[in-house]
Copies of this chain bind each other. A is one copy, B any other.
Amino acid sequence: MSVTGKLALIAGGGAVPVEVARYLKASGRAYCVLRLQGLSDLELNHHPGHDVGLGDFAHMFDLLAQESCQSVCMVGYVQRPDFNTMARDAGGAEHLPVIQAAGRGGDDSLLRQVARMFEAKGYAIEGAHEANPQLLIGHGLQAGPAPVPEAADDMAEAVRIANVIGALDIGQAVVVAGKITLAVEAQEGTDAMIRRVQALPDALKGALVNRKGILAKVAKPIQDLRLDMPTIGVSTVETASAAGLHGIVGQVGKLLIVDKAATFAAAERLGVFIYGFDDTDGNSH
């Protein structure tokens, strides 16, 4: 989408909303932050904005109108609430039942319903990677040692398997080592998936001194990247290193790297590469 007009950053927890806010400020774009109470990072108090409750949609709509915003970017961690007990204003009372019903189809479905609600009010939805393109992985080797041939083979296979897993709407990430799929992420999350590789027999996995295997993290085709982007950061690199992996691969334009400087520094320090894969890489194998 074209990035224009004043942006409302609806900020959940974690570092990504902070990085988006910093970029918006530095780039001179008009913006305000709607800080989700109890979730958003304290640094966001130093940006223009307002505190809002997660279920207070009437309040949010008032603020968006008052601030003359044209776009909304929803970013950061929000744990799925208990819809039966969560606080809400009149707007929440109107919209939460539909959002709750959509949530039975999974988090993706829930987020799409929230987005539709803002779109119905005339706001464009903007992804974190659109609000701050610097968060995106680039093409080729981003950090760490260059892939050895075995790692390059596993990289292509890991991307292939991860894309099939994503097409089934199962998860975003897999670990492949020696062409064998060691672990597949479903609902447990990427870090938990990587950690269980450590418990596998030595014959299958690598080690710190003799690395083996690749983490691929890709977007599901069904995934709306404006609402939910695959993301890695320092902890991903640390977990991948502890699991004895060679490296981490994402698809160009479809992976966010939180705190890129620190993440790349961890990759260099631990000897784990980060690689941005695209179709030209696929053709070389």
Q: Which residues of A contact B (CB under 8 A)?
A: 79-80, 103-106, 161, 164-165, 168-171, 174-175, 178-188, 192, 196, 199-201, 203-204
Identify 11 new A-B residue pairs, CB closer than 8 A, beyond the known A188-B196, A188-B199: A80-B201, A161-B168, A161-B170, A165-B184, A169-B181, A171-B181, A181-B186, A182-B187, A183-B188, A184-B186, A192-B199
Is the CB–CB distance between A187 and B183 below 8 Å? yes
User: In whole Å, how far is A138's beta carbon from the nearest beta carbon of chain B?
Assistant: 29
12 pairs from A and B in contact (CB 8 Å cutoff): A80-B201, A105-B179, A106-B180, A164-B168, A165-B184, A168-B181, A175-B186, A183-B186, A183-B187, A192-B196, A192-B199, A196-B196
Is the CB–CB distance between A171 and B188 below 8 Å? no
Residues in B neighbouring A178, C-beta threshold 8 A: 104
Most B C-beta atoms less than 10 A away, residue of A161, A178, A180: A180
The binding surface of chain A is classed by DSSP as loop
Is the CB–CB distance between A186 and B182 below 8 Å? yes
Residues in B neighbouring A187, C-beta threshold 8 A: 180-183, 200, 204
The CA-CA distance from A255 to B220 in the complex, in Å, is 32
Knowing A80-B201, A80-B203, say if A184 contacts B196 (CB, 8 Å): no
User: In whole Å, how far is A178's beta carbon from the nearest beta carbon of chain B?
Assistant: 7
The CA-CA distance from A103 to B79 in the complex, in Å, is 43
The CA-CA distance from A201 to B185 in the complex, in Å, is 15
The CA-CA distance from A151 to B81 in the complex, in Å, is 25
Residues in B neighbouring A169, C-beta threshold 8 A: 181
The CA-CA distance from A106 to B182 in the complex, in Å, is 11
Residues in B neighbouring A80, C-beta threshold 8 A: 201, 203
Is the CB–CB distance between B200 and A188 below 8 Å? yes
Is the CB–CB distance between A170 and B188 below 8 Å? no
Closest chain B residue to A177, Cβ basis: B187
The 6 closest A-B pairs by CB, nearest first: A184-B184, A170-B181, A182-B187, A183-B186, A184-B186, A181-B186
Residues in B neighbouring A170, C-beta threshold 8 A: 161, 181, 184
Closest chain B residue to A183, Cβ basis: B186
User: In whole Å, how far is A144's beta carbon from the nearest beta carbon of chain B?
Assistant: 24
Residues in B neighbouring A181, C-beta threshold 8 A: 168-171, 186-187
